Amino acid sequence: MTVLAAALPRTKDPVGQRLIGWPTSRAAAAVVVLFAVSAALSTASVGRTALLAMLPFAALTAIVAAGQTLVVQQAGLDLSVAGGISLGALIVAKYGGPQQLGAALAIAVAIAAAVFAGLVSGLVVTGFGLPPLVVTIAVNAVLIGLVQFLSGGYSAQAPALLTDFAVGRTLGVPNLVWVALVVIAVAQLVLKVTVVGRRFELVGANRQAAHAAGIRTARYTVSAYVLSAALAGLTGVLLAGFLRTTTLSAGDAYLLPSVAAVVLGGTALSGGRGSLTGTALGALFLGQLNQLVQTYTQTTAVQNIVQALIIGLGIVVQLNLASRLRRRATRRNPT
């Protein structure tokens, strides 16, 4: 516990500076500003109908980005989430009917298949010391190949039971939002309150110190990839139900947003402490940004360019501010 305590910086900064230094507060500020701008430029983009249409997609991004956050905290990057989403969506759509496996068993198989892929990624990264970027790209290629093999090139329709849940609402809020809130809340609680979570953050922040403390670091790294894959598979299952008919490239649209949400949420790409709440806010930012851009143009190319510029600007500001705060902390606490 001594090493764990030493790894977590202490500060006597005023409350205002602490808020600025807290990644979640910066992500929340960005969301507030975006919604204010949206209301000024287009009231329709913040209307009830628009929000109910946007929130499910933001929720799906938040779920897969939560897993991506765990991998990034271990100084990695999971580029296989696109394949995991596509595979999860295909399995539950093709085999979830009453004449096949049934919805419940198909969901379990979909998530289990994604978990196995994550386990392979984690074991290869830790066992052979290969770059996560290379490993997860290779695993993603295998998953996409499996999707093409199982589908035969055809789409599939999700079971009605799953569709009813995915498009339904509880207390006026889309069910997918409730799922995302539960995932984020549980993961955040485990990370910030339990010993396992604090050890997980220590492994990402200082692997040598964690090893010296007797922590088996490889287990935590592998678990990050496994959990990321599991959440990607879950995202695929929910996406299949929401879209009703899945496509072979269903997960492609969530790869870059999953990384962007992590960075916008304030989790450092170098690993260590992260903010799942910030990641969820980053996903909400991306969802509303997409909604705002679509009110002005339906041209996909223009939408992508505008979103890329704004996301890039947001990431630069977030990283620059975080870097300045780290340098200020180093000057104040040189030891």
Q: Tens of pLDDT along 242-251?
A: 998 888 888 9
Please give the sequence-ordered ranges of beta strands (E in DSSP) within 58-213, or none if there are none.
156-157, 169-170, 173-174
As a whole number, mean pLDDT of residues 127-138 equals 94
pLDDT tier at 11 (50, 70, 90 boundaries)? very low
Does pLDDT of 182 surpass 80?
A: yes
As a whole number, mean pLDDT of residues 60-76 equals 95
Give percent of the chain above pLDDT 70. 84
How distant, in Å, are the alpha carbons of 99, 188, 205, 304 from that of 244?
18, 31, 41, 25
Does pLDDT of 320 surpass 50?
A: yes
- Confidence (pLDDT) at 332: 61
72 or 317, which is more confident:
72
As a whole number, mean pLDDT of residues 106-128 equals 96
Domain ranges of the chain: 43-323
Does pLDDT of 3 surpass 50?
A: no
pLDDT tier at 54 (50, 70, 90 boundaries)? very high
Does pLDDT of 65 surpass 70?
A: yes
As a whole number, mean pLDDT of residues 263-278 equals 84
83 or 210, which is more confident:
83
Question: For 183-208, what is each residue's pLDDT tens digit?
Answer: 999 999 999 899 999 999 999 888 88
As a whole number, mean pLDDT of residues 292-318 equals 73
Q: Does CATH number 2.30.29 belong to domain 43-323? A: no
Least confident of 93-97, 142-146, 320-324: 320-324
CA nearest neighbour of 203 among 113, 274, 146: 274
Rounded Cα distance, 236 and 258, in Å: 13
- Confidence (pLDDT) at 14: 52
Rounded Cα distance, 248 and 94, in Å: 12
Q: Which residues contact 200 (CB under 8 A, 6 or more apart)?
A: 70, 73, 191, 220, 223, 224
CA atoms within 13 A on the CB side of 169: 8
Rounded Cα distance, 12 and 7, in Å: 16
Give the mean pLDDT of the chain. 86
333 or 286, which is more confident:
286
73 in Cβ contact with 274 (< 8 Å) = yes
How distant, in Å, are the alpha carbons of 65, 140, 143, 208, 232 from that of 116?
19, 12, 11, 28, 12
- Confidence (pLDDT) at 301: 73
As a whole number, mean pLDDT of residues 283-299 equals 85
